[in-house]
Chains A and B, each alone.
Chain A
Amino acid sequence: MASVSSLPPEALCRRCTLDHVDFTTTDDLEDALEFIGQERPIAAIELAVGIERQGYNIFALGPSGTGKHTVVRHFVEQRAATDPTPDDWCYVNDFDTPSAPRALRLPQGLGRQLKTDMERLVEELRSGLSSAFESEEYTTRRRVLEEEFQGRQQESLSELQERAKERGVAMLTTPTGLAFAPLKEGEVVSPEEFQKLPEDEQKRIKGEVESLQEELRKVLLQMPRWKREFNSRLRELNHDVSALVVNDLMDDLLDKYKELPGVVDYLTAVQRSVADHLDDFLESDGQKAGEAAATTGLPLPEAFQHSPALRRYQVNVLVDSGDAEGAPVIHESNPSYLNLVGRVEQMSMMGALITDFMLIKPGVLHRANGGYLILDALKVLSSPYAWEGLKRALQFRQVRIESPVQMMSLTSTVSLEPEPIPLDVKVILMGDRRLYYMLAEADPDFNELFKIAADFDDEFVRDDETTRQYARLIAAIVSREELLPLDRSAVCRVVEHGARLAGDSERVTARMRSVVDLLEESDHWARKEGAELMSAEHVQHAIDAQIYRSDRVRSRLQEQMLRETVLIDTDGARVGQINGLSVLSLGTFSFGRPSRITATVHMGEDEVVDIEREVELSGPLHSKGVLILSGFLRSRYAQEQPLSLGASLVFEQSYGGVDGDSASSAELYALLSAIGQVPIAQSFAVTGSVNQRGEVQAIGGVNEKIEGYFDLCAARGLTGEQGVLIPQANVKHLMLRQDVVDAVAAGRFAVYPIASIDEGIEVLTGVPAGELDTEGRYPEGTVNRKVADRLAEMAERSRELGMQAKARHTRGGSASGTGADDDADAALGSACGEPGRSA
């Protein structure tokens, strides 16, 4: 009989009782908890937010649903609340270079203040200057100037005219100028009369006319100079009149902002600009715009409808922290390039696109400046140029607003080049582990810029403290999501399910999203029933419903076994045949399924043929497992003679490929049975990998595998003989379904913890394995003896036949190191309804 006893029911599922927590329903629990565990990433985050140096940005890595966002937000917000509130940032016009708007930094709240002040200034300048220039005093002074200028012109002409008259010459206006003509009795002398005059007289008149012409030229030459003089005196007058208004208003502002040199510079530039552009302030509202619209007949954008020229005195408040307390924490859900670094918008005016500093829009880097910015790494990477833009901003510690085309220097169109703004922001990227390691390897800048990795665990140790916190966290979720409260049994059931999700009775899952989903679904079932509390039944209902929703393929496969389309024996005994167990993963749902593994032996030269591998249906881990078991055979039975054995192993009716080494122990049992001709009880199914020393090692998905075989047996009817052999090391992972536990308790099913191949073969065959005696032989009647005898016999026979050199099979492999835990997730699914599996 077997020397290994089956596990007691209590070892199959570690129940959660929460005896150490005093509560009846979740309402009794303090629900202030947002997360539990994750000490490692928390320490990382605390370090990163505490170091005010370049590059201490965070990459929070871990599977989705592990609460990365919650934890990061919690600690970052905590820190941000005590950080100083960042300054305001404004863009203002640069009056010397309007294409390069100037950035102004102002203490919190002063940005909007300056904006209002400038608006008021423009209003006051308009009214002040208009009334100054419309005043009686100004009009009079201007008229005096004008008359002086005109008078000078006219008087000099009149004087000349008078002088001409005295000399008997008239000044005539021709269609294109002025001319002088000799007069006689008030009439111009006719050519005939002129000819009759004595020659001296003619000469005299000619001389007079010529000298008058010269005088007229002199007078006319003076005129532009007088005009210039008039203009300059008019400018002086305008300046004097405006200075009074402008200086008075500006002095108030300069005094108000005297502590801020940047603003003082700006205001001084404004003052100069106002003096140069007085006309803009004197135009009636929208006059220029109206004229422009009238000429083209096109409507103007709204922003340009009122005094477009005065836009240059506006203030574009890019970042307004007026109402903020502490540093900003911003989570940008769409981290596109433009959303990150900001943009210069354009608007259509009369068919052309125009822009100015007022159309600069901030990016999220501006808004998070002085604080924290949380981004999804995958979104940043998949958004064109966003990663490059983010890196550049962090590297140079400044935000430069450029369009992607500008950034790549693909355009030379005139556009704005706003002054870059110094950047002091801590960026937290969220992503999965693969992305982190990929970036760390592929992008040399990444490690420089994201020095802190906050590595989130997907499970944590299940002990009294964590289960207590788990219960509190459940209470917090219930209160946050406004779910029905859970009674004690329900909380316990959720904790147990958390352990089952972790695949370990000593761990609970940290993927709280699954827990939230379960609670929400349980709440649904409870409400449907009209219950006021969620109980374990509701939770179980939700779990069952989750499984039912996803197990179409599983039930179809089981159906095939029950109808014997797929041949699996669950009773009787066969030589060289065993039930292996594999796990299939479909999306988030995994289930176990039995597979028949057969072994055949023949005389040959130390060769175990893995048929799966021959046809390339096996993954490397499976091939490795097979090579390990031939290593085991050689080391145990071929110390003193060559292994004259040929064997072939196959997963029967497997069409989709197989990977993982968790079937290697089953394959070895089948092989031993085939060599020693010892039948194996078909009521058992086996999982576990084996090393070259014959020790059975842990595998993954133990719960799914046991339940997979149990489901088949239960469907056929439990005989009490059936059971599963699992590696001893996997006992701690058992979190089996209640029906399995119940069947074991009733003695109708069994789970055997196996530490070595010898233990396993005894359970499977009912024959002792046998240990080497002092003479180096196995006792008579044991499995090992049978195997050793058969191999010796084959070696002898082989020698006799002289067949050492040739082998029928020419392919094989060499064994290597010990096996590791298999990969339970390899799914090499095929279209024929035979999904990939791992054994």
Chain B
Amino acid sequence: MSETVPDVRVERIVVALDASPHSVAALEAAAELAALMEAEVEGLFVEDSGLLCLCGLPFSQEIDVCTTAVRPLEAADMERQLRLMATTIERTMEQVAGRAAVRWSFRVRRGAVVEELLAAAQDAALMSVGRAGRVRRRGMGSTARSLIERSGRPVLLSGERGGSSAAAGRLQEPLTVLYTGTPAAGRALDMALRLRAARSMPLRVVVWAGGDASPDVEALEEAARGLVAAAAGDEAGPVSLVRVAPSADPAEALRDVRGGTLVAPHEQAALVADDERLTLLVP
């Protein structure tokens, strides 16, 4: 499937693909980020072994979401459908990656979805996933949640909402970083600074001292300033600081700073679970 020779030195962004609009947004986002970071995009479609198991059970049936019709499940049908999905996904990937002019590869694995993704994340620089799967739901899907909790890699969350997948997966200005002073927060800010350097754009640092580690806000601000100053390139774009009172609701504060792309430490995943914006969670 791959059209490039694997190169360990090249950073890889792994995209979890399942043909849902969310996953297409994730692919768009991954492609854009890959172009910025000169990384390679690897698409991964996991054929859920659970489904194939199910097909073998004597009472296996599926219910059509649109018509509520009940159909028996056949292993052969399932195989065919999964192949069809893989083909469709690969075609989409070819288009998206072609447009972004990034190197890409596509793999199909069979197994438990989360486990396969975690395995793939081991040697990836970043994971890109849709917020939820093919069935629409509020908040974050279980797969995304597991990845954030267990992968130890930065996870890019994309969600299609109201607009097209392409729009949902686009890096919006300004970059908005939630800085809480934790090491993860430091890495998040560092990542945001790198992105800012790669593509000149304004940076907004939301400083919140209400997390587990709670130094005073001034110190946090000072630290954030220090980190920003240390990153070279004033010409890369203006930097603004937004202070959030420790007593304030940080989720609300984040919603108040509208627009842009969010970068947050992964321990604050719950804060951004319901956010519609493209979100990068950094461990």
- Is there an interface contact between B57 and A177, defined as CB atoms closer than 8 Å? no
- Which stretch, B63-71, B170-178, B185-193, B260-268, touches the partner chain A? B63-71
**A190 nearest CB across to chain B (Å):** 5
Q: Inside 8 A of B136's CB, which chain A residues have their CB? A: 150, 153-154
User: B244 on the interface (CB 8 Å rule)?
Assistant: no
- Is there an interface contact between A174 and B135, defined as CB atoms closer than 8 Å? no
User: B102 on the interface (CB 8 Å rule)?
Assistant: no
A176 to B72, CA, bound (A): 12
User: B53 on the interface (CB 8 Å rule)?
Assistant: yes
Say whether, besides A170-B50, A173-B133, A173-B134, A217 and B63 are in contact (CB < 8 Å).
Answer: yes
User: A390 on the interface (CB 8 Å rule)?
Assistant: no
> What string of 1s and 0s marks CB contacts (under 8 Å) between B133-165 and chain A?
111111000000000000000000000000000
User: A194 on the interface (CB 8 Å rule)?
Assistant: yes
- Is there an interface contact between A177 and B65, defined as CB atoms closer than 8 Å? yes
User: A187 on the interface (CB 8 Å rule)?
Assistant: yes
- Is there an interface contact between B63 and A178, defined as CB atoms closer than 8 Å? yes
Q: From A178, A182, A187, give the contact of B135 (CB < 8 A).
A: A178
Q: Inside 8 A of A176's CB, which chain B residues have their CB? A: 62, 64, 71, 81
Q: Which of A140-177 contact B (CB under 8 A)?
A: 147, 150-151, 153-155, 157-158, 170, 172-177
**A730 nearest CB across to chain B (Å):** 103
Say whether, besides A154-B138, A174-B78, A189-B53, A179 and B84 are in contact (CB < 8 Å).
Answer: no
**B141 nearest CB across to chain A (Å):** 10
**B11 nearest CB across to chain A (Å):** 31
Say whether, besides A181-B57, A194-B57, A213 and B70 are in contact (CB < 8 Å).
Answer: yes
- Is there an interface contact between B63 and A175, defined as CB atoms closer than 8 Å? no
- Is there an interface contact between B48 and A206, defined as CB atoms closer than 8 Å? no
Q: Inside 8 A of A209's CB, which chain B residues have their CB? A: 59, 61
Say whether, besides A157-B135, A178-B135, A172 and B59 are in contact (CB < 8 Å).
Answer: no
- Is there an interface contact between B137 and A190, defined as CB atoms closer than 8 Å? no
User: A221 on the interface (CB 8 Å rule)?
Assistant: yes
A742 to B216, CA, bound (A): 137
User: A216 on the interface (CB 8 Å rule)?
Assistant: yes
User: A253 on the interface (CB 8 Å rule)?
Assistant: no
- Is there an interface contact between A210 and B63, defined as CB atoms closer than 8 Å? no
- Is there an interface contact between A191 and B53, defined as CB atoms closer than 8 Å? yes
Q: Inside 8 A of B70's CB, which chain A residues have their CB? A: 213, 217
A146 to B, closest residue via Cβ: B162
> What string of 1s and 0s marks CB contacts (under 8 Å) between B38-71 and chain A?
0000000000111101101111111111001011
A179 to B69, CA, bound (A): 12
Main secondary structure of the interface of A (DSSP, over half): helix
Say whether, besides A172-B54, A175-B81, A176-B81, A220 and B65 are in contact (CB < 8 Å).
Answer: yes
Q: How large is the interface on A (under 10, 10 to 19, 20 to 34, 35 or more residues)?
A: 20 to 34
A181 to B62, CA, bound (A): 10
Q: Inside 8 A of B63's CB, which chain A residues have their CB? A: 177-179, 213, 216-217, 220
A147 to B274, CA, bound (A): 12
- Is there an interface contact between A150 and B53, defined as CB atoms closer than 8 Å? no
- Is there an interface contact between A179 and B59, defined as CB atoms closer than 8 Å? no
Q: Inside 8 A of A187's CB, which chain B residues have their CB? A: 50, 53, 112
User: A188 on the interface (CB 8 Å rule)?
Assistant: yes
Q: From A154, A174, A182, A189, give the contact of B137 (CB < 8 A).
A: A154
- Is there an interface contact between B48 and A172, defined as CB atoms closer than 8 Å? yes
- Is there an interface contact between A177 and B71, defined as CB atoms closer than 8 Å? yes
Interface centre among B50, B58, B61, B136 (most CB of A within 10 A): B50
- Is there an interface contact between B62 and A179, defined as CB atoms closer than 8 Å? yes
A219 to B, closest residue via Cβ: B68
**B275 nearest CB across to chain A (Å):** 14
- Is there an interface contact between A174 and B62, defined as CB atoms closer than 8 Å? yes
How many residue pairs, one in A and one in B, have C-beta atoms under 8 Å apart?
94
Q: Which of A187-208 contact B (CB under 8 A)?
A: 187-191, 194, 205-206
A154 to B139, CA, bound (A): 10
User: B82 on the interface (CB 8 Å rule)?
Assistant: yes
- Is there an interface contact between A150 and B138, defined as CB atoms closer than 8 Å? yes
Q: Inside 8 A of B64's CB, which chain A residues have their CB? A: 176-177
A217 to B51, CA, bound (A): 20
A213 to B84, CA, bound (A): 26
User: B269 on the interface (CB 8 Å rule)?
Assistant: no
A474 to B143, CA, bound (A): 108
Q: Inside 8 A of A190's CB, which chain B residues have their CB? A: 53, 56
A207 to B, closest residue via Cβ: B59
Q: Inside 8 A of A189's CB, which chain B residues have their CB? A: 53, 57
A216 to B64, CA, bound (A): 10
User: B27 on the interface (CB 8 Å rule)?
Assistant: no
> What string of 1s and 0s marks CB contacts (under 8 Å) between A257-278 and chain B?
0000000000000000000000
- Is there an interface contact between B73 and A174, defined as CB atoms closer than 8 Å? yes
> What string of 1s and 0s marks CB contacts (under 8 Å) between B213-242 and chain A?
000000000000000000000000000000
Say whether, besides A187-B112, A189-B57, A172 and B138 are in contact (CB < 8 Å).
Answer: no
User: B85 on the interface (CB 8 Å rule)?
Assistant: yes
Q: Inside 8 A of A174's CB, which chain B residues have their CB? A: 51, 62, 73, 78, 81
A189 to B51, CA, bound (A): 10
Q: Inside 8 A of B19's CB, which chain A residues have their CB? A: 175
Interface centre among B58, B62, B63, B135 (most CB of A within 10 A): B63
Interface centre among A155, A176, A177, A191 (most CB of B within 10 A): A177
**B182 nearest CB across to chain A (Å):** 31
- Is there an interface contact between A158 and B62, defined as CB atoms closer than 8 Å? no
> What string of 1s and 0s marks CB contacts (under 8 Å) between B113-127 and chain A?
000000000000000
Interface centre among A150, A155, A182, A188 (most CB of B within 10 A): A188
- Is there an interface contact between A173 and B135, defined as CB atoms closer than 8 Å? yes
A158 to B56, CA, bound (A): 26
Q: From A175, A188, A216, give the contact of B54 (CB < 8 A).
A: A188
**A709 nearest CB across to chain B (Å):** 106
**A160 nearest CB across to chain B (Å):** 11
- Is there an interface contact between A188 and B82, defined as CB atoms closer than 8 Å? no
A206 to B, closest residue via Cβ: B59
- Is there an interface contact between B61 and A181, defined as CB atoms closer than 8 Å? no
A192 to B, closest residue via Cβ: B56
Q: Inside 8 A of B56's CB, which chain A residues have their CB? A: 190-191, 194
A570 to B54, CA, bound (A): 139
Say whether, besides A172-B51, A213-B70, A220-B68, A179 and B61 are in contact (CB < 8 Å).
Answer: yes
A699 to B236, CA, bound (A): 115
Say whether, besides A172-B51, A189-B57, A213-B70, A177 and B62 are in contact (CB < 8 Å).
Answer: yes
Q: Inside 8 A of A194's CB, which chain B residues have their CB? A: 56-58
**B44 nearest CB across to chain A (Å):** 17
Q: From A155, A172, A191, A210, give the contact of B50 (CB < 8 A).
A: A172
Say whether, besides A150-B136, A150-B138, A187-B112, A221 and B68 are in contact (CB < 8 Å).
Answer: yes
Say whether, besides A154-B136, A221-B68, A178 and B62 are in contact (CB < 8 Å).
Answer: yes
26 contacts across the A-B interface (CB closer than 8 A): A153-B136, A154-B136, A154-B138, A155-B138, A157-B135, A158-B137, A172-B48, A174-B62, A174-B73, A175-B84, A176-B62, A176-B71, A178-B63, A179-B73, A181-B50, A181-B57, A187-B53, A188-B50, A188-B51, A188-B54, A191-B53, A194-B57, A209-B59, A210-B59, A213-B63, A213-B70
* 7 A-B pairs with least C-beta separation: A191-B56, A188-B50, A175-B81, A179-B62, A181-B54, A188-B53, A177-B62
Binding site for A on B (CB under 8 A): 19, 48-51, 53-54, 56-65, 68, 70-71, 73, 78, 81-82, 84-85, 112, 133-138
Given pairs A157-B135, A188-B51, A221-B68, 13 additional interface contacts (CB within 8 A): A151-B138, A154-B137, A155-B138, A157-B137, A172-B50, A173-B133, A175-B82, A177-B65, A181-B60, A182-B57, A188-B49, A191-B57, A206-B59
